[in-house]
Amino acid sequence: MTGNQMIVEVPTLDKAKAGKLIGKKVIYKTEGGKQISGKVTGTHGNNGAIKVRFSKGMPGQAVARKVEIVE
């Protein structure tokens, strides 16, 4: 996995619901107010985690932070 890809865990999702999110836009907002956008590229595992590819590399501070999934 490269620096612009992350696994995002969504506690309320199962694998079937996570599959419906493929192609949706994801936004990470930094503390400085900037936004880094990405796209859901697939599922990961059986518990509803999703793979997200962001437009540029993610900062280390993004680990364990919340993102917004845009419909």
pLDDT at 69: 92
Tell me if 51 sits within 8 A of 43, measured CB to CB: yes
Looking at the predicted structure, is the pLDDT value of residue 15 above 70?
yes
Residue labelled with tokens 């999934």: 69
- Could you tell me the residue ranges of all domains in the chain? 5-70
Tokens of 70: 């845009």
User: Please, what CATH class does the domain formed by 5-70 belong to?
Assistant: mainly beta
Task: Identify the pLDDT of residue 3.
Answer: 79
What is the pLDDT of the chain when averaged over all its residues? 90
pLDDT tier for residue 1 given thresholds of 50, 70 and 90: low
pTM, rounded to two decimals: 0.86
User: Is the pLDDT at 71 greater than 80, yes or no?
Assistant: no
